[in-house]
Structure 1
Amino acid sequence: MYTNILRHPGPTPIPQKVQLAMAHDIYSHRSGEFVELYRETTKRLKPLFGTKQDILLLPSGGTAALEAAAINTVSSGEDVVVITVGAFGDYFVGICEKYGFNVHKLAIEWGEACTEEALVEFLKPLNSIKAVFATYNETSTGIINPIEKLAKVVRTQTDALFIVDGVSCVGGAPAEMDEWGIDILVTGSQKAMMLPPGLSFVSVSERAWKAIENNKTPSYYLNLSSYRNWAEKGMTPNTPAITLIYGLAAVLDLIEEEGYEQTIARHALMKDMVRAAMRSLGIGLLTSDEYASPTITTILTPEGLDLGDYLGHLKNEYHLDFAGGLGHLQGKVFRFGHMGYCFPSDILEAVSLMEAGLQDFNYSFESGAGIKAAQDVFLSRKKR
C-alpha cells in the first residue's frame, strides 16, 4: 500500500524521530518522570511563542483551546470584537455567540487580510470592549494577518484583551507574544508543530490572568486557572496526552537543531517557491504576496479543469493529497500545505506531480515551467 504525500494544512506529516519518541514506554502523569518532561518541554516552547509566560498544555484539539481562551476571559453579555477573514475566524464568532457574548463581527472578504486601518475604523464607535479575537493565519484562504500591527491598534485604542488563534502558524511564522502585546496565544499540535492531533498550547499574559481571575463564566475541563495551578506542580489537572508530549520533546529537538530563525526562513522560502511555480504554470492565487501565508497557499482552480476530478486524480494516480476549499470557496480553490515537516525538496516533488496531473488533463503549459520557477527561487535564496 502506498503512503500518500500529505500536503494538507493539517494534520501534517510526522518526522520519524517524533514517531519513535511517541513509542516510548508509558508512565504515570503523576510521576517524577512526567514532571521533569512537562517542565522541560513547556520551558523549551517559550521561544516559539516569543514569551516569558508559562505555556499550558491542554489534552485537546486547537478549537478547545480557542474556546478556553474565550470562556476564561469573557462573561455573558460582555462586548467582544471578532476579526474574521475566513472559516476559522468564524469559529471564534460561533464560540463567542454560544456563550452569550455580545459579538461585533469585523468581517473581511475571504482572501484579504485585516489591515490596521480597517480595525481602527471598526473600533471607533465601540465602547467597553472586553476582548478582541483574531486569527493570525487563516488556512481557509491562505492569508496571514498583520498581527503585530493589529495588536498595536487594540493596545492604543482600547483596554481590551487581544486573543490570537495561532493554530496554523506558530512554529512556522514569527510570534512575539510579549513584544507585540498579545494577551493569549493559542496553537495546536497537528500543524507546524509536527505532531498528531490531540494537544494544544496556550500562553496567557499577566493582564489576561487578572481578567480570568475576575471572570464569571463557569468552566471545568477548560479552566485555565486549574491548568496554571497544576502547571506549578509540573502536571496537568486531568490525564494529558502523554505520548504526544514525548513527541513534543522530539519536535523541539528538531527545531533547535535547525535553529528557530532558520525554521521560519524555510517556511517563507517554501511559500515563495509554491507561488512562483503556480504563476509559471498560469494558475491563479487567491491572496496577494503581501499577506500570503508562510504555511499554506490557496490556489485557484486551473482554468478548464474540474477541480474534484483533478485532485482525485492526483491522489489516486500520484498519491499527492491536497486539501479542497472550504465554505463558498469549495470547488473553486485547493490548498497546498507547506508547514512543519516539509522542505524545499518536498515542494519540488509536489509541483512535479502537479505538472504530471496537468498533462494528463491536457492543460496547456510549458512542461517543467513550475519546477524550474520553484527551483530558481530555492537556488537564489540558497546563494544569499
Structure 2
Amino acid sequence: MEKSLMTATNVKFSNHIPDDIVFSILSKLPLKSLKRFGCISKSWSLLFDDNCFMTMFRNNLLTKDHPYYDYTSVLIQTKTRGGGGLYSLSSDNIVELDWPNPFRCPIQEEDNHPPSSSSSEEEEEEGSQDNPPVTRFCIVGPVSINGTLCLDNKNSNAELFLWNPTTNEFKFIPSSPILSAPYYHVWPTQTQVGYDHLKDDYKVIRSMCALPNLKSQPVFFWELYSLNSNTWSTIEADVPYSNDNVDVYTDGVCHWWGKREKHSYLVSFDFSNESFITTLIPSYVDDSDAFNYAVGRRLVLLNGSIALILTHSKTSMFHISILGELGIKDSWTKLFIIGPLPSLWNPIGSAKKNKILFENTSGGLALFDLSNKTIEEICVIPNPSFCITVVLHKESDLPIGGINN
C-alpha cells in the first residue's frame, strides 16, 4: 500500500497546454475578454496577428446567437426629399405598407384611440391643414421596442408619436417646453428611442440646436422624454451628435457614430442609467478623412457585437471592425475585409445572423453571407431613393401605455 502511494506521488505532470487547445479555447471568448488576456503572455498578445487563430475567432463569432434577430418582420423605409415609402420584406418579395394617419382624429391626451376611417382617400393622399400628408414620416431607431415604433412627423420639427402596427394604437408625445422658450429658432438634430428595463419605461433622447438670436452661435443640448411621466427633461452632456442619424440599438443602449474636430467617436446612451459613454475610434479602424465622400460609414450589430463598416467605393472593398468594450479605444479590432464586390455599394444593416443587407447597383437589395462569402439577391426596391433604412419589428399586442404590464 505504501509502495503504491509512493509511485503515485512520483508521477510528473506537465503544465504545457498544446497551442491548438489554447487557440480553440481563446477563440470562443468575447473580444472584450480576449483583449484583456493579451497581457498574460507575449504570445497571447500576438494572437490577432495569427491567421489560423483569427479564422477560428471569426467562425465562432458568426455562430453566436443573439435575441436581436428574434423579429417578426423586416421593415424597409425609403426616404426622399418629398416623402418616403414603407415596405415589409419577406424571404422572396417586398410588399408596400400604408403609413398610419393619426391626424384624422383630434389628439387625445388620456385616451389614444386608433384613428377613425371617416377621412376620404383624397384627404389621405393630398392632405389638408387639419390632415397633413402621411408620407413624410421617419421611423426613429433600428428596432421596434415591445412592438412599438416611434415615428417622426416630418411636417413638423417637433412632433413625435408612438405607433403599434399590430394594434394600430397611437400615442402622441407632447411637445417639449423648450420649443416655446424665447429662442429665435430651435430644432432637433438627432432622435433616438430605447427602453429602460429597470423602470419599465419607453424613452426618447434627442439633440436640440437653438439660436438665441440672429447674431449668436448655435447652442446644443440634450432632451429626454419618459413615457411613464409623459414629460421632457434636459440632460447636460458635451458629446457629439450623429451627422446622419444612423444608429444601432441593443440591450437598452443606443449607439451612433459622431465626429468632433479631427476625432471620430462611437457615442452610446444607456436608457436605464441615463448616461453617455464615448469610445474613441482609432485611425486604423476609421482609416479615412471625414470629408472623403468616396468612403461611407455604417454602424451595424453583428451577432451581438457593435460593428463599423467602411465602404471604399473606388475599390468596392468593405472593412468591418468590431468593438470589444465600450469606452476602450484599443478594444476595436478590424475583423473582416471583404471584396471587391462591384455589385454591392451600400450596406444597410444586419437583418439576419451572419448576413449583411446591401443595396446593389441595380436598385435592389441583396444579402452578403460572411460565413461562405455568397451574395443572395432579395428583391428590387419599387421606388429607389437616396436613403434606405432597415427596422426590425416584432409584433406585440401590448398597449403602448402598458409596456410594464
- TM-score range with shorter-chain normalisation? under 0.3
Looking at CA atoms only, which structure, 1 or 2, has the larger radius of gyration? 2
When you count helix as a share of all residues, which structure comes out higher? 1
Between 1 and 2, higher relative CO (CA 8 Å, sep ≥ 6) is seen in: 1
When you count strand as a share of all residues, which structure comes out higher? 2
